[in-house]
Amino acid sequence: MKIVKCCFLFFFLLTYANLSTAQIVKISDPNAAPITNYNYHDAFAPFFYTKNGTEYRAASGEPGPKYWQNKANYKLAVHLNEETNEISGYEILDYTNNSPQKLDFIWMQLDQNLFKKESRGSAIVPVAGSRNAGHGQDFDAGYKIKSVKLLAGLKEEKEIDVKYIVNDTRMQIFLPKEIAANGGALKVKIEYSFISPEYGSDRMGVLATKNGKIFTVAQWFPRVCVYDDIMGWNTMPYTGPGEFYLEYGDIDFSVTASSKIIVVGSGELVNPQEVYTPAQMKRWALAANSDKTIIIRSAEEVTDEQSRPTSKKELTWHFKIKNTRDAAWGASASFIIDAAKMNLPSGKKSLAISAYPIESNGDTAWARSTEYVKKSIEFNSAKWYEFSYPAATNVAGVVGGMEYPGIVFCGAKAKKRRLMGCYRP
Protein backbone atom coordinates (compact mmCIF):
# COMPACT_ATOMS: atom_id res chain seq x y z
CA MET A 1 0.00 0.00 0.00
CA LYS A 2 2.84 2.43 0.84
CA ILE A 3 4.40 1.72 -2.53
CA VAL A 4 1.10 2.59 -4.30
CA LYS A 5 0.75 5.87 -2.40
CA CYS A 6 4.34 6.85 -3.18
CA CYS A 7 3.83 6.13 -6.87
CA PHE A 8 0.66 8.25 -6.98
CA LEU A 9 2.39 11.14 -5.19
CA PHE A 10 5.36 10.94 -7.54
CA PHE A 11 3.03 11.01 -10.61
CA PHE A 12 1.12 14.02 -9.26
CA LEU A 13 4.28 16.00 -8.52
CA LEU A 14 5.73 15.16 -11.91
CA THR A 15 2.56 16.31 -13.69
CA TYR A 16 2.27 19.50 -11.65
CA ALA A 17 5.95 20.31 -12.24
CA ASN A 18 5.41 20.17 -16.02
CA LEU A 19 2.68 22.82 -15.97
CA SER A 20 3.73 26.25 -17.15
CA THR A 21 3.43 29.26 -14.90
CA ALA A 22 0.55 30.56 -17.06
CA GLN A 23 -1.34 27.31 -16.69
CA ILE A 24 -0.90 27.32 -12.94
CA VAL A 25 -2.30 30.84 -12.78
CA LYS A 26 -5.37 29.81 -14.84
CA ILE A 27 -6.08 26.90 -12.56
CA SER A 28 -5.50 28.69 -9.31
CA ASP A 29 -6.76 32.22 -10.09
CA PRO A 30 -10.56 32.40 -9.65
CA ASN A 31 -10.63 35.77 -11.45
CA ALA A 32 -8.97 34.50 -14.62
CA ALA A 33 -11.09 34.48 -17.82
CA PRO A 34 -12.41 30.99 -18.67
CA ILE A 35 -11.15 29.17 -21.73
CA THR A 36 -13.76 29.65 -24.51
CA ASN A 37 -14.31 29.63 -28.27
CA TYR A 38 -16.20 32.95 -28.09
CA ASN A 39 -15.63 35.18 -31.11
CA TYR A 40 -16.83 38.77 -31.02
CA HIS A 41 -17.17 38.97 -34.80
CA ASP A 42 -19.29 35.81 -34.99
CA ALA A 43 -21.57 36.96 -32.17
CA PHE A 44 -22.33 40.30 -33.80
CA ALA A 45 -22.22 39.30 -37.48
CA PRO A 46 -24.88 40.94 -39.72
CA PHE A 47 -27.16 37.94 -40.19
CA PHE A 48 -30.22 39.91 -41.35
CA TYR A 49 -28.65 41.89 -44.18
CA THR A 50 -26.44 39.21 -45.68
CA LYS A 51 -25.64 41.04 -48.89
CA ASN A 52 -25.87 44.40 -50.55
CA GLY A 53 -28.91 45.25 -52.64
CA THR A 54 -29.15 44.75 -56.39
CA GLU A 55 -31.23 46.39 -59.10
CA TYR A 56 -33.70 43.54 -58.66
CA ARG A 57 -33.96 43.44 -54.87
CA ALA A 58 -32.99 45.95 -52.17
CA ALA A 59 -30.82 44.90 -49.23
CA SER A 60 -33.96 44.97 -47.10
CA GLY A 61 -35.57 42.37 -49.36
CA GLU A 62 -37.97 44.86 -50.95
CA PRO A 63 -38.37 44.87 -54.75
CA GLY A 64 -35.74 46.94 -56.57
CA PRO A 65 -36.28 49.13 -59.65
CA LYS A 66 -35.92 46.14 -62.01
CA TYR A 67 -37.65 43.53 -59.86
CA TRP A 68 -39.40 40.78 -61.81
CA GLN A 69 -41.55 37.72 -61.28
CA ASN A 70 -42.48 35.10 -63.80
CA LYS A 71 -46.18 34.42 -64.33
CA ALA A 72 -48.06 31.14 -64.54
CA ASN A 73 -51.67 30.97 -65.77
CA TYR A 74 -53.42 27.60 -65.80
CA LYS A 75 -56.45 26.18 -67.54
CA LEU A 76 -57.49 22.85 -66.05
CA ALA A 77 -60.22 20.31 -66.74
CA VAL A 78 -60.49 17.15 -64.65
CA HIS A 79 -62.94 14.33 -63.97
CA LEU A 80 -63.59 12.89 -60.49
CA ASN A 81 -64.32 9.16 -60.22
CA GLU A 82 -65.98 8.78 -56.83
CA GLU A 83 -65.70 4.99 -56.86
CA THR A 84 -61.95 4.72 -57.53
CA ASN A 85 -60.87 8.11 -56.09
CA GLU A 86 -59.16 8.84 -59.41
CA ILE A 87 -58.79 12.39 -60.72
CA SER A 88 -57.89 12.60 -64.41
CA GLY A 89 -57.69 15.30 -67.05
CA TYR A 90 -55.36 17.89 -68.47
CA GLU A 91 -53.81 21.25 -67.78
CA ILE A 92 -52.57 24.00 -70.05
CA LEU A 93 -49.79 26.06 -68.52
CA ASP A 94 -49.43 29.55 -70.01
CA TYR A 95 -45.99 30.60 -68.76
CA THR A 96 -44.38 34.03 -69.11
CA ASN A 97 -40.64 34.45 -68.57
CA ASN A 98 -40.10 37.96 -67.21
CA SER A 99 -36.54 37.19 -66.13
CA PRO A 100 -33.49 38.62 -67.93
CA GLN A 101 -32.35 35.07 -68.80
CA LYS A 102 -33.40 32.75 -71.60
CA LEU A 103 -34.82 29.43 -70.39
CA ASP A 104 -34.22 26.23 -72.34
CA PHE A 105 -36.14 24.02 -69.91
CA ILE A 106 -38.71 24.38 -67.14
CA TRP A 107 -39.26 22.47 -63.90
CA MET A 108 -42.61 21.26 -62.58
CA GLN A 109 -43.67 20.15 -59.09
CA LEU A 110 -45.28 16.69 -58.91
CA ASP A 111 -46.45 16.70 -55.29
CA GLN A 112 -48.60 13.56 -55.61
CA ASN A 113 -45.41 11.53 -56.06
CA LEU A 114 -44.77 12.02 -52.34
CA PHE A 115 -47.19 9.17 -51.67
CA LYS A 116 -45.21 6.61 -53.67
CA LYS A 117 -43.47 4.03 -51.52
CA GLU A 118 -40.07 4.86 -53.04
CA SER A 119 -40.35 8.65 -52.61
CA ARG A 120 -37.86 10.64 -50.55
CA GLY A 121 -40.69 11.77 -48.33
CA SER A 122 -41.71 8.18 -47.58
CA ALA A 123 -38.10 7.33 -46.75
CA ILE A 124 -37.91 9.86 -43.92
CA VAL A 125 -41.20 9.01 -42.19
CA PRO A 126 -40.43 7.87 -38.62
CA VAL A 127 -41.25 4.30 -37.67
CA ALA A 128 -43.88 5.64 -35.28
CA GLY A 129 -45.59 7.46 -38.16
CA SER A 130 -46.07 11.13 -39.04
CA ARG A 131 -48.72 13.59 -40.23
CA ASN A 132 -46.40 14.45 -43.14
CA ALA A 133 -47.06 11.44 -45.34
CA GLY A 134 -49.81 9.03 -46.33
CA HIS A 135 -50.24 7.11 -43.07
CA GLY A 136 -48.80 4.01 -44.72
CA GLN A 137 -51.62 3.57 -47.24
CA ASP A 138 -50.67 0.98 -49.86
CA PHE A 139 -52.14 2.11 -53.19
CA ASP A 140 -51.20 3.02 -56.75
CA ALA A 141 -49.91 6.44 -55.76
CA GLY A 142 -48.40 9.30 -57.73
CA TYR A 143 -48.97 11.06 -61.02
CA LYS A 144 -49.45 9.14 -64.24
CA ILE A 145 -48.13 11.53 -66.90
CA LYS A 146 -49.78 10.54 -70.17
CA SER A 147 -48.33 13.24 -72.41
CA VAL A 148 -46.42 16.54 -72.38
CA LYS A 149 -46.84 18.74 -75.44
CA LEU A 150 -46.06 22.28 -76.55
CA LEU A 151 -48.94 24.17 -78.11
CA ALA A 152 -48.04 26.09 -81.25
CA GLY A 153 -49.69 27.79 -84.21
CA LEU A 154 -51.89 30.86 -84.45
CA LYS A 155 -54.77 29.01 -82.84
CA GLU A 156 -52.59 26.63 -80.82
CA GLU A 157 -53.75 23.87 -83.13
CA LYS A 158 -50.34 22.18 -83.20
CA GLU A 159 -49.32 19.87 -80.37
CA ILE A 160 -45.62 19.04 -80.30
CA ASP A 161 -44.33 16.22 -78.10
CA VAL A 162 -41.41 17.24 -75.90
CA LYS A 163 -38.94 15.27 -73.81
CA TYR A 164 -39.26 15.22 -70.07
CA ILE A 165 -37.79 13.41 -67.11
CA VAL A 166 -39.38 12.72 -63.71
CA ASN A 167 -37.25 12.67 -60.58
CA ASP A 168 -39.17 12.02 -57.36
CA THR A 169 -41.55 14.99 -56.93
CA ARG A 170 -40.16 17.01 -59.84
CA MET A 171 -40.37 16.92 -63.61
CA GLN A 172 -37.97 18.65 -66.01
CA ILE A 173 -39.37 19.56 -69.42
CA PHE A 174 -36.84 20.14 -72.19
CA LEU A 175 -37.82 22.77 -74.74
CA PRO A 176 -36.97 22.61 -78.45
CA LYS A 177 -36.59 26.38 -78.41
CA GLU A 178 -35.59 28.69 -75.58
CA ILE A 179 -38.16 30.92 -73.93
CA ALA A 180 -37.00 34.46 -74.63
CA ALA A 181 -36.05 36.74 -71.74
CA ASN A 182 -38.09 39.76 -70.64
CA GLY A 183 -41.53 38.57 -71.66
CA GLY A 184 -41.11 35.40 -73.70
CA ALA A 185 -43.93 32.88 -73.32
CA LEU A 186 -44.94 29.31 -74.02
CA LYS A 187 -47.91 27.01 -73.52
CA VAL A 188 -47.56 23.43 -72.36
CA LYS A 189 -50.36 20.86 -72.26
CA ILE A 190 -50.02 18.00 -69.80
CA GLU A 191 -52.41 15.03 -69.63
CA TYR A 192 -52.29 13.28 -66.29
CA SER A 193 -54.14 11.31 -63.63
CA PHE A 194 -53.66 10.21 -60.04
CA ILE A 195 -55.54 8.42 -57.29
CA SER A 196 -56.20 10.59 -54.27
CA PRO A 197 -54.66 9.34 -51.03
CA GLU A 198 -57.14 8.77 -48.22
CA TYR A 199 -54.89 10.90 -46.02
CA GLY A 200 -52.52 13.18 -47.90
CA SER A 201 -49.97 14.65 -45.49
CA ASP A 202 -52.76 16.56 -43.69
CA ARG A 203 -53.28 18.66 -46.81
CA MET A 204 -55.82 16.62 -48.76
CA GLY A 205 -57.66 13.32 -48.61
CA VAL A 206 -60.94 11.40 -48.61
CA LEU A 207 -63.32 11.12 -45.67
CA ALA A 208 -66.09 8.50 -45.62
CA THR A 209 -69.49 9.70 -44.35
CA LYS A 210 -72.89 8.00 -44.29
CA ASN A 211 -74.06 10.03 -47.29
CA GLY A 212 -70.94 9.81 -49.43
CA LYS A 213 -67.22 10.47 -49.53
CA ILE A 214 -65.83 13.96 -48.94
CA PHE A 215 -62.93 14.77 -51.27
CA THR A 216 -60.65 17.61 -50.16
CA VAL A 217 -58.40 18.05 -53.17
CA ALA A 218 -55.12 19.97 -53.27
CA GLN A 219 -51.74 19.59 -55.00
CA TRP A 220 -53.84 18.16 -57.80
CA PHE A 221 -52.03 19.32 -60.93
CA PRO A 222 -48.38 19.65 -62.00
CA ARG A 223 -47.34 23.19 -61.02
CA VAL A 224 -44.38 25.06 -62.45
CA CYS A 225 -41.52 25.67 -60.04
CA VAL A 226 -40.52 29.23 -59.23
CA TYR A 227 -37.61 30.73 -61.14
CA ASP A 228 -36.28 33.77 -59.24
CA ASP A 229 -33.26 36.05 -58.93
CA ILE A 230 -32.06 34.39 -55.70
CA MET A 231 -31.95 30.65 -56.45
CA GLY A 232 -32.79 30.39 -60.13
CA TRP A 233 -35.01 27.29 -60.36
CA ASN A 234 -36.36 26.35 -56.92
CA THR A 235 -36.45 22.57 -57.19
CA MET A 236 -36.29 21.34 -53.60
CA PRO A 237 -38.12 17.98 -53.51
CA TYR A 238 -41.42 17.86 -51.66
CA THR A 239 -41.16 15.59 -48.60
CA GLY A 240 -44.41 16.42 -46.80
CA PRO A 241 -43.79 19.05 -44.12
CA GLY A 242 -42.83 21.93 -46.43
CA GLU A 243 -45.18 24.64 -47.63
CA PHE A 244 -45.40 25.76 -51.25
CA TYR A 245 -43.46 28.45 -53.13
CA LEU A 246 -45.36 29.11 -56.35
CA GLU A 247 -45.68 31.62 -59.18
CA TYR A 248 -48.71 33.92 -59.32
CA GLY A 249 -51.24 33.97 -62.14
CA ASP A 250 -54.85 33.24 -63.03
CA ILE A 251 -56.37 29.76 -62.70
CA ASP A 252 -59.42 28.66 -64.70
CA PHE A 253 -60.50 25.15 -63.70
CA SER A 254 -63.38 22.75 -64.28
CA VAL A 255 -64.34 19.64 -62.32
CA THR A 256 -66.74 17.09 -63.81
CA ALA A 257 -68.41 14.68 -61.40
CA SER A 258 -71.63 12.78 -60.77
CA SER A 259 -74.65 15.10 -60.66
CA LYS A 260 -75.33 14.06 -57.06
CA ILE A 261 -72.03 15.64 -56.01
CA ILE A 262 -71.60 19.29 -55.02
CA VAL A 263 -68.22 20.91 -55.71
CA VAL A 264 -66.81 23.99 -53.95
CA GLY A 265 -63.53 25.58 -54.97
CA SER A 266 -61.11 28.49 -54.92
CA GLY A 267 -62.42 31.67 -56.50
CA GLU A 268 -65.77 32.23 -58.20
CA LEU A 269 -68.16 29.58 -59.47
CA VAL A 270 -69.02 31.00 -62.90
CA ASN A 271 -71.85 28.62 -63.87
CA PRO A 272 -74.00 28.24 -60.72
CA GLN A 273 -77.24 28.07 -62.70
CA GLU A 274 -76.02 24.86 -64.37
CA VAL A 275 -75.19 23.01 -61.14
CA TYR A 276 -77.74 24.24 -58.57
CA THR A 277 -81.54 24.03 -58.58
CA PRO A 278 -83.69 27.15 -59.17
CA ALA A 279 -84.65 27.16 -55.48
CA GLN A 280 -81.00 27.07 -54.47
CA MET A 281 -80.15 29.91 -56.85
CA LYS A 282 -82.71 32.09 -55.05
CA ARG A 283 -81.03 31.23 -51.74
CA TRP A 284 -77.64 32.18 -53.16
CA ALA A 285 -79.08 35.57 -54.10
CA LEU A 286 -80.34 36.01 -50.53
CA ALA A 287 -76.94 35.01 -49.07
CA ALA A 288 -75.13 37.58 -51.23
CA ASN A 289 -77.03 40.32 -49.37
CA SER A 290 -77.36 38.78 -45.92
CA ASP A 291 -75.18 39.28 -42.84
CA LYS A 292 -76.78 36.19 -41.36
CA THR A 293 -76.13 32.66 -42.56
CA ILE A 294 -78.48 31.45 -45.29
CA ILE A 295 -78.94 27.71 -45.81
CA ILE A 296 -78.41 26.81 -49.47
CA ARG A 297 -78.83 23.07 -49.06
CA SER A 298 -80.18 21.90 -45.71
CA ALA A 299 -79.48 18.74 -43.73
CA GLU A 300 -82.94 17.46 -44.68
CA GLU A 301 -82.20 17.98 -48.38
CA VAL A 302 -78.94 16.02 -48.38
CA THR A 303 -80.81 12.76 -48.94
CA ASP A 304 -83.45 14.34 -51.21
CA GLU A 305 -82.76 13.70 -54.90
CA GLN A 306 -84.68 16.87 -55.78
CA SER A 307 -81.95 18.95 -54.10
CA ARG A 308 -79.75 18.24 -57.11
CA PRO A 309 -80.34 18.80 -60.85
CA THR A 310 -81.43 15.44 -62.22
CA SER A 311 -81.45 16.02 -65.97
CA LYS A 312 -77.84 14.82 -66.40
CA LYS A 313 -75.76 12.01 -64.94
CA GLU A 314 -72.73 14.30 -64.62
CA LEU A 315 -72.23 18.02 -64.14
CA THR A 316 -69.24 20.26 -64.76
CA TRP A 317 -68.35 22.89 -62.15
CA HIS A 318 -66.40 25.86 -63.54
CA PHE A 319 -64.29 28.11 -61.29
CA LYS A 320 -62.00 31.08 -61.88
CA ILE A 321 -59.58 32.75 -59.50
CA LYS A 322 -57.28 35.63 -60.42
CA ASN A 323 -53.83 36.64 -59.19
CA THR A 324 -53.32 33.49 -57.19
CA ARG A 325 -50.51 31.05 -56.55
CA ASP A 326 -52.73 27.97 -56.22
CA ALA A 327 -56.27 26.58 -56.22
CA ALA A 328 -58.01 23.74 -54.37
CA TRP A 329 -61.49 22.21 -54.21
CA GLY A 330 -63.81 19.96 -52.26
CA ALA A 331 -66.51 17.61 -53.52
CA SER A 332 -69.21 15.43 -51.95
CA ALA A 333 -72.81 14.26 -52.23
CA SER A 334 -73.04 14.67 -48.45
CA PHE A 335 -72.57 18.44 -48.28
CA ILE A 336 -74.81 20.82 -46.38
CA ILE A 337 -74.10 24.23 -47.94
CA ASP A 338 -74.64 27.62 -46.32
CA ALA A 339 -73.32 31.13 -46.96
CA ALA A 340 -73.38 34.80 -45.92
CA LYS A 341 -72.17 38.17 -47.18
CA MET A 342 -68.80 39.51 -46.06
CA ASN A 343 -68.31 43.29 -45.83
CA LEU A 344 -64.82 44.47 -46.78
CA PRO A 345 -63.25 47.83 -45.82
CA SER A 346 -63.24 49.15 -49.40
CA GLY A 347 -66.97 48.59 -49.71
CA LYS A 348 -66.56 45.47 -51.81
CA LYS A 349 -68.50 42.33 -50.94
CA SER A 350 -67.41 38.72 -50.78
CA LEU A 351 -69.08 35.46 -49.71
CA ALA A 352 -68.39 33.26 -46.71
CA ILE A 353 -69.31 29.67 -47.58
CA SER A 354 -69.26 26.41 -45.63
CA ALA A 355 -69.60 22.81 -46.86
CA TYR A 356 -69.98 19.98 -44.34
CA PRO A 357 -71.75 16.65 -43.75
CA ILE A 358 -74.68 15.95 -41.44
CA GLU A 359 -72.26 14.40 -38.93
CA SER A 360 -70.57 17.81 -38.52
CA ASN A 361 -73.79 19.80 -38.10
CA GLY A 362 -74.67 21.45 -34.79
CA ASP A 363 -74.87 24.81 -33.03
CA THR A 364 -71.46 24.34 -31.41
CA ALA A 365 -69.92 22.93 -34.58
CA TRP A 366 -70.16 23.50 -38.33
CA ALA A 367 -73.57 25.19 -38.30
CA ARG A 368 -71.59 28.23 -37.09
CA SER A 369 -68.73 27.82 -39.54
CA THR A 370 -69.90 30.53 -41.96
CA GLU A 371 -70.35 32.92 -39.04
CA TYR A 372 -66.74 32.24 -38.01
CA VAL A 373 -65.43 32.65 -41.57
CA LYS A 374 -67.25 35.96 -41.98
CA LYS A 375 -65.98 37.38 -38.69
CA SER A 376 -62.41 36.23 -39.31
CA ILE A 377 -62.18 37.68 -42.83
CA GLU A 378 -63.86 40.96 -41.90
CA PHE A 379 -61.67 41.49 -38.83
CA ASN A 380 -58.37 40.68 -40.53
CA SER A 381 -59.27 42.65 -43.66
CA ALA A 382 -59.78 45.75 -41.52
CA LYS A 383 -56.67 45.20 -39.44
CA TRP A 384 -54.12 43.92 -41.95
CA TYR A 385 -54.95 43.53 -45.63
CA GLU A 386 -58.24 43.31 -47.48
CA PHE A 387 -59.30 39.85 -48.58
CA SER A 388 -58.68 39.51 -52.32
CA TYR A 389 -61.07 36.83 -53.53
CA PRO A 390 -64.82 36.62 -54.32
CA ALA A 391 -65.42 33.85 -51.76
CA ALA A 392 -63.88 32.27 -48.66
CA THR A 393 -64.95 28.65 -48.32
CA ASN A 394 -64.48 26.26 -45.42
CA VAL A 395 -64.74 22.52 -46.11
CA ALA A 396 -65.12 19.80 -43.48
CA GLY A 397 -63.01 16.75 -44.19
CA VAL A 398 -60.16 14.51 -43.14
CA VAL A 399 -57.64 17.38 -43.08
CA GLY A 400 -56.99 18.86 -39.64
CA GLY A 401 -56.41 22.35 -41.00
CA MET A 402 -54.89 23.57 -44.27
CA GLU A 403 -55.30 26.85 -46.12
CA TYR A 404 -55.29 27.59 -49.84
CA PRO A 405 -56.28 30.74 -51.74
CA GLY A 406 -59.98 31.30 -51.15
CA ILE A 407 -60.56 27.94 -49.43
CA VAL A 408 -59.57 26.06 -46.27
CA PHE A 409 -59.92 22.44 -45.19
CA CYS A 410 -60.72 21.81 -41.51
CA GLY A 411 -61.38 18.70 -39.47
CA ALA A 412 -64.95 17.44 -39.73
CA LYS A 413 -65.03 16.90 -35.96
CA ALA A 414 -63.83 20.43 -35.11
CA LYS A 415 -66.02 22.47 -32.76
CA LYS A 416 -66.05 25.83 -30.97
CA ARG A 417 -62.59 27.42 -30.62
CA ARG A 418 -60.88 24.70 -32.60
CA LEU A 419 -63.18 25.41 -35.53
CA MET A 420 -62.96 29.18 -35.08
CA GLY A 421 -59.16 29.05 -35.26
CA CYS A 422 -59.05 27.30 -38.63
CA TYR A 423 -59.75 30.20 -41.00
CA ARG A 424 -56.93 31.51 -43.11
CA PRO A 425 -58.23 31.30 -46.69
* pLDDT tens-digit series, residues 288-297: 999 999 999 9
Are 254 and 76 within 8 A, CB to CB? yes
SS3 237: coil
Question: Residue 78 contacts by C-beta under 8 Å, 6 or more apart in sequence?
Answer: 87, 88, 89, 90, 220, 221, 253, 254, 255, 256
Q: Report the mean per-residue pLDDT for the chain.
A: 90
User: Average pLDDT for residues 215-222, to the nearest whole number?
Assistant: 98
> 3-class SS at 245?
coil
Q: Report residue 1's pLDDT band, with 50, 70 and 90 as the boundaries.
A: very low
Segment holding 318, helix H or strand E: strand 314-324
Averaged over 216-230, what is the pLDDT? 97
In the three-class reduction of DSSP (H, G, I as helix; E, B as strand; rest coil), residue 418 is classed as helix
Compute the average pLDDT of residues 316-332: 98
Residue 20 has pLDDT above 70, yes or no: no
Decide if pLDDT at 15 tops 60.
Answer: no
Q: How far is it, in rounded angstroms, from Cα 372 to Cα 293?
A: 10
Residue type, 259: S
Q: What are 150-209's pLDDT values in tens digits?
A: 999 888 889 999 999 999 999 999 999 999 999 999 999 999 999 999 999 899 999 999
What burial class does residue 308 get, using C-beta atoms within 10 Å of its C-beta: 0-12 exposed, 13-18 middle, 19+ buried? buried
pLDDT in the model for residue 37: 83
- Which DSSP category does 238 fall into? P
Bigger pLDDT: 310 vs 175: 175
Quote the pLDDT of residue 25. Answer: 43
**What's the Cα-to-Cα distance from 375 to each of 372, 404, 416, rounded to whole Å?**
5, 18, 14
Rounded Cα–Cα distance for residues 384 and 324 (Å): 18
Whether residue 52 has pLDDT greater than 90: no
- Number of residues that make up the chain: 425
CA dihedral in degrees (213, 216, 222, 226; nearest 10)? -170
Judge whether residue 282 has pLDDT over 80.
Answer: yes
DSSP 367: G
Cut 0.85: pTM above it? yes
Backbone angles phi, psi at 328, to 5 degrees: -145, 170
3-state helix, strand, coil in the chain (%, to 5): 20, 35, 45
Q: Nearest 5°: CA angle at 112, between 106 and 114?
A: 100
Q: Supply the pLDDT for residue 423.
A: 55
What's the distance, CA 315 to chain centroid? 26
The per-residue pLDDT for 50 is: 60
Residue 397, CA distances (Å) to 268, 280, 333 in order: 21, 23, 13
* 332-388 pLDDT per residue, tens: 999 999 999 999 999 999 999 999 999 999 999 999 999 999 999 999 999 999 999
* Predicted local confidence at residue 5, as pLDDT: 43
